[in-house]
Amino acid sequence: MTQASNRAPAAVPPLHHPGEAVLMDYAAGALSEAVGLIVATHLALCPACRAEVARLEAVGGALLEGMPDGEPDMDLLEGVLARLDAPAPAAPRRPAPHPASAVLPEPLRSYLGGDVGRIGWRRVMRGLEEALVDCGRDKVRLMRIRAGTAMPRHTHAGNEYTLVLAGGFSDALGHYLRGDFIATDAAIDHRPVADDGPDCLCLAVTDAPLRLTGPVGRLLNPFVQF
C-alpha cells in the first residue's frame, strides 16, 4: 500500500472504490440522499466507477423495457400533450460559476455552498474539526484532521462510508488518498491516523440503523451486527 502515497493529489484515479452492490443501489436510485452524495462525489473523482454506473444504468434501462406494458392511458396522453407547449420552468438554480480550481468536487461543493474556504468549522477535539452537511436523514460530516493526528479508536452502529478529499490517512487495513472510498461496518474497530503533510479532509456518512425501525428493522437487527 505504501506505493499509493506516490500518487499525485488530483488526477490519478482512486484505488479504493464502493462495492458493486453500492454502485448498483446508486444506479437504481435506492440509496439515501446522504449515501448518494458521498457515492456521487467519489464518481466525480473516479472515471472507472462512472463507467460502471453507466453500465448499471443500462441494466436499469433493460429492466424497464421488460416491465409489463399493457394499454397506454390515453387520458394521460392528452394531459401530457397539453403541457408540451407550456414554457419549461426555469432551469434549477445552478451554483456559482465554477472556480478555476476546487478541492471539493460537485455535487458536494453545492451542498456546502462553496469550496473549502467557505466552510465554518467546528472544533471537535484537538486536531479534528468538522462541518455538518445538510443532507436528508443520515448524518453527513466533513472532517478536517490535522496532519499526524490519530483518531480515537471506534466502531460504528450501521455502516460508515468515508471519502478522502485531500491529504490521506491510514488504518490497519490500508492507506487512503484523495478519491478513495472506504466502507466500514460495525465489526471494524479501527484507529485512523492522518498522514503527515497537508491536513486530511474527509467526507463521512453514517447510515444509522435507527431509520430501519418497525417490522423491517426488527428483522434487520441480527444483520446490522454482522
Partner 1 sequence: MEIDVDMRERAAAGGDHPRGRSGPVCGTGRPSGASGGTGRPSGPAGGTRTTDAAAEAARLDALVVQVGRDRDREAFVALFRHFAPRLKSYLMRQGAAPGAADEVVQEVMVTIWRRADSFDPSLASAATWVFTIARNRRIDMIRREARPEIDPDDPALVPAAPEAADRLIEAGQDQRRLHGAIAELPPEQAELLRMAYFEDKPHSVIAAERGLPLGTVKSRLRLALERLRRAMGEER
List binders of partner 1 among 114-173 (CB under 8 A): 136, 159
Part of the chain binding partner 1 (CB under 8 A), chosen from 95-103, 116-124, 147-155, 198-206: 95-103
Residue 18 makes contact with partner 1 by CB under 8 A: no
Residue 91 makes contact with partner 1 by CB under 8 A: no
Residue 12 sits at φ, ψ, to 5 deg, of -90, 135
Residue 24 makes contact with partner 1 by CB under 8 A: yes
Per-residue binder mask for partner 1 (CB under 8 A), 178-197, x = binder: -x------------------
Residue 107 makes contact with partner 1 by CB under 8 A: yes
Of the pair 58, 173, the CB lying nearest partner 1 is at: 58
Residue 41 makes contact with partner 1 by CB under 8 A: yes
Contacting partner 1 (CB under 8 A), which of 1, 5, 79, 210? 79
Residue 19 makes contact with partner 1 by CB under 8 A: yes
CB of 223 to partner 1, least distance (A): 5
CB of 107 to partner 1, least distance (A): 4
Residue 30 makes contact with partner 1 by CB under 8 A: yes
Distance (Å, whole) CA 20 – CA 9: 25
In sequence order, the 6+-apart residues with CB closer than 8 A to the CB of 151 are: 128, 145, 191, 192, 193, 194
